[in-house]
Structure formats: structure tokens, C-alpha cells
Structure 1
């Protein structure tokens, strides 16, 4: 490494590059395939290390990780999910509600580890480099930590499911979060033997993936 901290950059080997893209394309939101086998501490720390290596604006690193194994806490979170999910189902048109009711949208009690990734909105003080004109970059940075964790989990053979149908107030109460800390992602983690070969919501007929070309604009919106 050079004295200025720089080192040569270049592409990965073909095998290394293929592994990165495989993790990206085979990542799944897991709800019902969790095995009861525990996640050992070394593996969990590797996953948290991957999350902690995420990019963050101004190097503020606004995330924290609440590791939850307690049955009592998980049962409280599941009850909160169920109440929110009953409300969510009623928001959809009648023709969608039947399919919605058949979808399994969480694995809170089945997964051996639950993890809440939070964002400390006071991290770095009142003025953070790169955050001066967009306060929400701390939330975006925390989302990057979630993605890092998700890809590392896939590489380790660990399934991960994001439980998004939860009220922030319920998580704050159950997890005793201070006012300046925002729950960004409530995740379920566990070993898996099988995964869907496509996103589960696509396999179940809820939605399909949009073609990439429809998402690309040149120079300005609409071009």
C-alpha cells in the first residue's frame, strides 16, 4: 500500500465477480423456509461486520443492531405485526384481499434470531459532512447496511426476511428505543435449506419484476 493510503484497484477474478452477482440475484426475502438450527455467534458477527462495513455519508455510521433471541420479545413483535397486518389487508381492493391473506409475510417466531437495525439521527452531531442539505442521508446509509447484511447472509446460507408491516410506535415500546433512534429494518435470520428461484411475491402471483429498460432515462427524466 502506498504511503498516502491508496492501493491498486482492478476487477475481481471471474470467480469472485460471479460470486458477487450470484449473491445479488439469488438474494430472497425469506418468510417460511427457516430451519430451527441456531446461528452461532461467529457467523452472526461476520454478518454484523458486513453490515457495519456499509458506506455512510460523512462516515457517520448511524446504525445500531439489536439482536433478539428471546421468545417473549419475539411474541410481542409478532402480536404487533398481526395487528398491523390485519389493518394492511383491509387497505387492498377486495380482489386482492384473498391472495393477501394467503401470503406469509413474516417469520418472527420461526427464525432463531431477529434483528432490528436502527438509525441514530443524532450520530455525528448537528452538522455532518455530506448531510448538510439532505437530512435523510442517515436513513439511506442505514439502508445500505441492511443490504450489505442481506448479501452476506445469502453467501453464508442464511435466510433473511424483512418485516415491514409494523408500526414504529410498537417497536419503540417493545425495544425501548429512545426518541432520537429510528427503527429502519426489523429482520428475521435463520439457516435455510431451500429458497424460491424467483422473488416469492412473483412466484405467488402478487407482482412481477419490471424490465430494466423501462427504468432507464438518459440525461433527464422521460428521455
Structure 2
């Protein structure tokens, strides 16, 4: 009996070692893929000599758990911009019907104008969810977050307007924790020049709180009208994180 027990223990040990060896060899292949963020268009914001503004919104693609999430869609009257967006998606091997979710960071026309190009998607704007003509309320109606996938959620970020939301992407492939902030941040430079965001704010106090929340949480920020930027220790000190 002892001999049989010893043989059984040896067999179990061999099985355990073989399993551990397979895990070491193939473990990385079995891991879930991390979310991917692609900037389809870097935005811009310029004031003309006659006092008007030229606004081009940043448009971002987030891919996670098999879902294609488009964040902002640009200006509906920007014909060239529409063509460029659809072309940028094609370069990612995605046609318009392949977009599963559209998130509008806020309702201003330079960010929300192209939603009609994605009628098959589920749309999130403010605390509303809608698909075609059917509406519902998201978790943002009663809380500060709404989950989209295992690694992506929406976060209230009001101030620039009354319905701003940011898209938080956890553990992105190259940037770690990324927050797509809409116009909570216009661009990197508005950290040093408040006049770039304050005159356009519906509620400066609320937006200042939202800006602090984003800076204190993010590793990288994708602003509404500029290129992504990395959050530094100095920025966190500046915002009293």
C-alpha cells in the first residue's frame, strides 16, 4: 500500500511539473489581450484674427474584449473630416458598421456631429444610452462610473459642459492607464495657460475639480483638441494629488 501511495505521489508530482512547464511556455499566449488605443485624428484649436475659433476634435478608437469603441465623431459639417475619419477606420480594417459603441464626451457640435455615420452602434452621451430611437439611462444617472468592458469605463467629468464624460482605459498596451478627457483638457498647453480653457467653461469650479480628478488618476491623457500627453510627477504636485 505504501509503495502504491508513493507511486501515485510521484505520478501526481510529474503531472504538476508538466502543467507548470506548459504554463511557463504558453502562459503569455493564454493571457487576455490588453486594450488598445489608437488616435484616429489629433485635434486642434485655433483662434482666427477676427476673433472666431477653428475647432477640430480629437477622435480616438479603443479596442477591448472584441469591441470597437469610438470616442467622439467630429463636426457634422466637416466633409473632409468625415472622409478622413472613415478612411482612418478602414486603415484599422473597420467599416462604420463595425463600430460597436460610440461615446460622445459632450454634446458640442465639434465632438458630436458625426454620430449619424454609426447608426448600428450603441451610443453614450451624458447619462443617456441609445440605439437608433430607443433610449435608456446609464449608471452615470446615479453614480460616477459606467462600465463598458473589463478594462474600459466612463467617468463623469463635468464643467466644460453639463454632460461631460471621460473614457478611462485600464492597462493599455503601451501607455498603461489612459483617460480620454474630451474638453476637460483642451490640450497639454492649457495646464500652463488657463485662458485656453476657462473662457470656454460652463462651470470653472466644476471643471477644475474634473481636471484634478483626471490628472490624479491618469498615466496618459488624450485631450479634446491636441496630442496625448503623459502625466508627470510635477503635474500631480501642481494639482495637489
Q: Do these two structures clear the TM 0.5 threshold for a shared fold by scoring above it?
A: no
Greater C-alpha Rg: 2
Which bracket does the TM-score occupy, shorter chain normalised? under 0.3
Q: What TM-score do you get using the length of structure 1 for normalisation?
A: 0.22
- Highest RCO, 1 vs 2 (Cα 8 Å, sep ≥ 6): 1
Question: Per residue, is there more helix in 1 or in 2?
Answer: 1
Question: Per residue, is there more strand in 1 or in 2?
Answer: 2
